[in-house]
Structure 1
Amino acid sequence: MITFYPGPSKVYPQVADYAVEAVRQGIVSLNHRSAGFMDIVKETVRLLHEKLDIPSDYHIAFVSSATECWEIVAQSLTAESSLHPYSGAFGKKWAEYAYRIKPPVSLNEADVLCIVQNETSNGTQVNMETLAQFRRDFSALIAVDAVSSMAGITLDWSLADVWFASVQKCFGLPAGLAVLVYSPAALKRAEEIGETAHYNSILFIHENFSKFQTPYTPNGLGIYLLMRVLQQVTPIADISGRTKKRAIEWYTFFEQEMKASPFTVLINDLALRSDTVIAVQGSETEVSAIKKAAQKMDIMLGNGYGDWKNTTFRIANFPAITDEEIGTLKQFLRSY
């Protein structure tokens, strides 16, 4: 089965070998306070800085998921209230979740701006130019959910203080681990707030990761697999160029070769189109039919989500997906 599901999505095929290696070498049995495990954490952090071009003064930690990062931002980095402009289902969910933890007092006095950089539900994104405008207009912290874009496209880290992503998308890994990146300004804010009431308080996390340890028994296999994948992939500039080229080709394909089909790209505004998740719309009947036909050909298309659940299908444009697999899907779509 070739999967184009936008998360969990295709893992790099080498991950199977890395997992066997981790079991046979006893890596999955390492105590998370041991020197051997701390060496793995240290190397994984170093590789993230190197391969994703993360500034050296930005800190990195590992948690369970991007949803946990929503909680960390609300608990540890929001003094009064957070502001959540959004364009889709995941941005809305983040807002609802954050407001349950930290009910908004006055949005005019919000001290954290929360942005979903790539809205997986409808194939939109906030590009770096727009994020730069947010940076100019908003004087406090900016937190960015980059779940469907981190490790897939180049990000300007300086434009936000907190970035996070689960690894089951552009990292090409199984779910169960997230990368949390935070700036010196974010750490200073956490220190000012002084929130230490939770196991995942950012001050507690930072204290442990300063020693390349974790505040709780972590997903050791996930961290090891992340290290091994980072060792194999090229720098983000190369990956990003390939991702953006493929995205242009996908949009061109639907606008030209699929012009006579019952399907069109959901997002018309070129500036808002995602580079990593292509959302395609059609009638409920046609969308259901093409997904079933694809499955018969051992191709899995992504379901729609939220308001677009029944009238769209989504195509992941993640680095682990090969050109050959994309060619197979395009041939299926042509002949459908």
Structure 2
Amino acid sequence: MITFYPGPSKIYPQVAEYLQDAVKEGILSQNHRSQAFMDMLKECISLFKQKLNIPTDYQVYFTSSATECWEIVAQSFTAKGSLHIYNGAFGQKWFDYNRKMAGDSAFDISFDYEDTIPILETDTSKYDILCITQNETSNATQVDVNQIPMAEDALIAFDVTSSIGGIELNWTKGDIWLASVQKCLGLPAGLGVMVCSPRALQHARTVGERKHYNSFLFIHENFEKFQTPYTPNVLAIYLLKRVMEQVADIDVISAKLKARNLDFCRFIEEKTIWKLLIDNESVRSDTVIAIEGVSEAIKDIKQKAKEAGITLGNGYGNWKETTFRIANFPAIEDWEFEALKTCLV
């Protein structure tokens, strides 16, 4: 089965071997206060920062999911308020979640999915944090983080769930980066990641929130010892370490995905039956491609693909019946894209 579903998506085939190794090495039977676990966690973080070119003074933490990271941002970094800037369903979900937790101190600005993110003209001093979905999977758009000026009075948090491990990111343009591993990192769902700047850590100390099992300061103090505040997903951390040992540096991966995205988009543009959902090439996602057609053609291509052993991603929200989505993640191989092209002819 070939899957282009945009998350959870295809895992690296080597994961099957790594699972067996985890059992043989006995790491799954070690408690999370053991030296064996701490050594493994330390190595995983070191490899993760090295392969993704994360600055040495930025810290990496593991959680259960990107959704838990939303919660941590709301509880531990937000005293005055948060501003959410989004153009799609997942950015809005992040806002809705913060609104449930923070009430009227969560604010939002929406923009059209064909537009670049607006440059803020509002006073950011009344917010602790600006929350931006860097890669909006629902409509296959992305934000160029280099276009966003740093805010002196507020942290910037990026949700990079659909791009981390696939696209080279300028980490210095944000203070909090959050994601899950089930997309470009080629792993099963069940592990979240936070990457935080020194400024984020200092702000968390100023807020001083310590009411929850996953309060950020509690997490940080444990990770300083290469431990976790609660029993972690040891297997997922081990698998991430093994994948980081295997993959190329992020600049190599990013160049390949961008080239493949461009090639496939040109292929679609040559077809009269299909069109790309996003006309504005400057805001198209590099890792998720949304293809539009009449509802009957969408239904037919899904069935044709299924018969060929290919799983396509469904459309999302308003485009559920008139689009399908394609993941352009590192674990997906070039020959699989060629098989998809054959199916779409």
Bucket of the pairwise TM-score, normalised by the shorter protein: over 0.9
Separation of aligned partners in 2, 1:284 and 1:134: 41
Please give the root-mean-square deviation of Cα atoms over the aligned residues, in Å. 1.1
* Aligned residue among 86, 106, 110 for 2:127: 110
Separation of aligned partners in 1, 2:62 and 2:196: 11
- Residues 80-119 of structure 1 correspond to what in structure 2 (within 5 A)? 80-105=80-105, 107=107, 109-119=126-136
Separation of aligned partners in 2, 1:176 and 1:163: 17
Amino acid at match of 2:132: I
Aligned residue for 2:257? 243
Matched, 1:169 2:180: no
Residue correspondences, number: 328
Aligned residue for 1:29? 29
Structure 1 residues 236-295: Cα deviation after superposition (integer angstroms, max 9, x where no partner) = 000000011011111111112x2x22x210000011100000001112222122111101
Q: Aligned with 1:61: secondary structure?
A: strand
Matched, 1:207 2:221: yes
List gaps (5 residues or longer) in structure 1: none
Separation of aligned partners in 2, 1:243 and 1:127: 16
Separation of aligned partners in 2, 1:105 and 1:330: 48
Aligned residue for 1:58? 58
Shift of 1:134: 3.7
Say if 2:205 and 2:217, in contact at 8 Å, map to a contact too. Answer: yes
Say if 1:22 and 1:221, in contact at 8 Å, map to a contact too. Answer: yes
Q: Aligned with 1:142: secondary structure?
A: strand
Aligned residue for 2:67? 67
- Residues 105-184 of structure 1 correspond to what in structure 2 (within 5 A)? 105=105, 107=107, 109-130=126-147, 133-135=148-150, 139-184=153-198
Say if 1:75 and 1:195, in contact at 8 Å, map to a contact too. Answer: yes
Q: Aligned with 1:23: secondary structure?
A: helix
Say if 1:80 and 1:102, in contact at 8 Å, map to a contact too. Answer: no
Separation of aligned partners in 1, 2:145 and 2:73: 21
Say if 1:81 and 1:103, in contact at 8 Å, map to a contact too. Answer: no
- Residues 211-226 of structure 1 correspond to what in structure 2 (within 5 A)? 211-226=225-240
Separation of aligned partners in 2, 1:121 and 1:321: 20
Say if 1:82 and 1:104, in contact at 8 Å, map to a contact too. Answer: no
Q: Aligned with 2:85: secondary structure?
A: coil
Identical-residue share of aligned pairs (%): 56
Shift of 1:138: 6.0
Shift of 1:49: 1.1
Aligned residue for 1:310? 321
Q: Aligned with 2:105: secondary structure?
A: coil
Structure 1 residues 116-154: Cα deviation after superposition (integer angstroms, max 9, x where no partner) = 000000100001332xx342x564100000000000010
Amino acid at match of 1:313: F
Q: Aligned with 1:84: secondary structure?
A: strand
Aligned residue for 1:187? 201
Aligned residue for 2:299? 288
Amino acid at match of 2:337: I
Shift of 1:106: 7.6
- Residues 246-257 of structure 1 correspond to what in structure 2 (within 5 A)? 246-256=260-270
Shift of 1:104: 3.0
Aligned residue for 2:114? none
TM-score, normalisation: structure 2: 0.93
Say if 2:159 and 2:178, in contact at 8 Å, map to a contact too. Answer: yes
Separation of aligned partners in 2, 1:124 and 1:30: 42
**Structure 1: which 4+ aligned runs deviate by more than 6 Å?**
none
Separation of aligned partners in 2, 1:88 and 1:321: 25
Aligned residue for 2:7? 7
